[in-house]
Amino acid sequence: MNINGACVPNGPAGAGRPFPATATYKNLPTKEVFSRNFKGTDKWTIYVSDLDTMGPAVEGTQFCITLKKDAPCDTMAELMPEFPKWSVALWDPNHNCCPVSNSSNPSPPPGRPPRSPRLPPPPRVPRSPPPPKVPRSPPPPRTPRSPPPPRTPRSPPPPRIPRSPPPPRFPPPPAGCDTCYQFKVTPGPNQPVLNYFDNDANCARAVAVWDEYFFNNPVIKPFIQSGFQVVTCDGDTAIVCGTYVSTISADEAASLANFQLMLELVFQTAGGCPSNLAGYSLSLTSTKDECGAAFDIFTCTFPPPPFPNCGPCNNQTNSIPFAASQVITTRTASASSTYYCIGIDTQTPGPNTGEYAKYCAKLESLYKAEFWLDYSKRWLIKSIASFADDGTMTEWAATWGPAADNSLRVTPLKWDLDYVDANVPSICFELANSSGSILDITPRPTERRLWYSLFDEKQMCCPTSSSTTL
């Protein structure tokens, strides 16, 4: 979002740093709000990353920003450069798309009608005049004082000897500032630690990129006092430290360095995230905001799965009156096995732009559910059952599509709205405890999500989403 530069707290120019505001998405707190200057100009933006949502799940959601009380600007009129006009850009994870929305606040309500004039106050009754004052008698005349005797004049002081002028003062040399820059890989929820820079090739690439684009960069070299030469690789971090000539030099160097390009080159994300980094956040940051600040983050999200494998259908999650829970629950199947369950409930269809929208909104029966599971691990599923709210169990046969589809179908359900409302059924998969959880037998187990689609009998509606464990 574009903002007024006067609203950014004092600090290094051209650098991203925390902004005095908080943000929520879907009524949940987001990561910290940051401000960023555009290449040394007077243009500033604030931004929030890692919202981690996509496709139909965005429909109807709300993003809110709250300015802190101690912020330099605590109203929208002060924050917006051309109030009431404002503009917001939305970015995809790879920074390839950035649709911009422009709008303004609604016109103020009409003013109140003028008040009727007040009636004049009643006339005051005049007070009676005070009685005449009796004049005081004049004071007696004062006796004049005798004149003081004449003073003896003082002798003049001796002349002062002028002091020697102090030696001229010279300003002290500007103090340098120390900082470090680090490339880092941060795992997302349920993702393992990679120790990315323990790999010799990854560490060597970080060293080469840093040397070419920073340490040996002729436009940055004059601002360096010492250091910034040795890159140390350890686990998921590659770090380099040094000293700038001064804080002013540090800010100049940071404004000239292309930290975003260095981040892309080290992690090879220019054409999209490598598959081994899906689910991880990649960053290049500085340890001191007041000394050559850097703050660039890139989140590698998993792409949508190739699922479901069928003809054109409406895959928006709010397209039908049925919905599946986004949280996987468990229940005991036996002493050595566990059921992993996804609940089915009813909902009110929302506006959507998918195909057959009117037909899907009036759907009265849920015909089947499909799940994106690894075909080669199908033998790990011991049984499939559905449980009504009162505990009544119904067993289902496993129906698999072609091996390449990785699609397990639970069909024919034929659950109407009344049945689902009354029973709130769950579809459950039994796995041996030694086999892990249902998330371990998906085609992308590191993603830790189970993708599903719900279908009508004609396969014109196929709302698709995913569930995970808490």
Query: For residue 439, is pLDDT > 80?
Result: yes
Which of 107-121, 246-260, 267-281 has the highest average model confidence (pLDDT)?
A: 246-260
| Position 412 pLDDT exceeds 70 | yes
Partners of residue 86 on adjacent β-strands: 103
Q: Is 70 exceeded by the pLDDT of residue 401?
A: yes
Return the pLDDT at 261. 95
Per-residue pLDDT, 152: 66
For the chain, the helix, strand and coil percentages under 3-state DSSP, each to the nearest 5: 20, 30, 50
pLDDT reported for residue 373? 98
Condensed to tens digits (0 to 9), the pLDDT of residues 211-264 reads: 999 999 999 999 999 999 999 999 999 999 999 999 999 999 999 999 999 999
Judge whether residue 275 has pLDDT over 90. Answer: no
Residue percentage of the chain with pLDDT more than 70: 81
pLDDT value of position 322: 97
Q: Say yes or no to pLDDT of 160 above 70.
A: yes
Q: What pLDDT, on the 0 to 100 scale, is given for residue 122?
A: 60
> E-assigned strands of 188-320?
224-227, 232-234, 237-244, 280-286, 295-300
For 286-308, what is each residue's pLDDT tens digit? 999 999 999 999 888 888 899 99
Mean pLDDT value of segment 175-204:
91
pTM above 0.75, yes or no: no
pLDDT at 85: 82
Q: Is the pLDDT of residue 403 over 60?
A: yes
What domains appear along the chain, each with residue ranges and CATH number?
A: 2-103 (no CATH), 177-300 (3.30.70), 322-469 (2.60.40)
**Does residue 167 carry a pLDDT above 70?**
no
Residue 72 has pLDDT above 90, yes or no: no
Least reliable range by pLDDT among 69-78, 309-318, 456-465 = 69-78
At 447 the pLDDT is: 85
Q: Looking at residue 6, what is its pLDDT?
A: 81
Are 72 and 21 in contact, with CB atoms under 8 Å apart?
no
Q: Where are the alpha helices (DSSP H) in 40-153?
A: 76-79
Whole-number Å distance between alpha carbons of 384 and 367: 16
The answer on pLDDT for 114 being more than 60 is: no
Letter for the amino acid at 106? P
Helices 200-210 + 259-267 axis angle, to 10: 160
Q: What is the mean pLDDT of residues 274-286?
A: 90
Q: What is the pLDDT of residue 14?
A: 47
Q: What is the pLDDT, as a whole number, of residue 438?
A: 97
User: Which structure tokens are listed for 470?
Assistant: 């808490």
Per-residue pLDDT averaged across 143-159, rounded?
Answer: 67
Provide the b/e sequence for 375-407 (b: ≥16 CB within 10 Å).
bebeebbeebbbbeeeeeeeebeeeeeeeebbb
273 pLDDT more than 50: yes
Name the residue with tokens 């009162």: 390
Omega before 303 within 30 of 0, i.e. cis: no
Average pLDDT over residues 260-286: 90
The average pLDDT across 170-177 equals: 66
pLDDT of residue 382: 98
Please measure the distance between the N-terminal and C-terminal CA atoms of the chain and give it in whole angstroms. 33
Token pair of 249 as six digits: 């030099």
Interacting residues of 467 by C-beta distance below 8 A, sequence separation 6+ = 324, 325, 326, 327, 328, 342, 449, 450, 452
Model confidence over 200-212: pLDDT tens digits?
Answer: 999 999 999 999 9
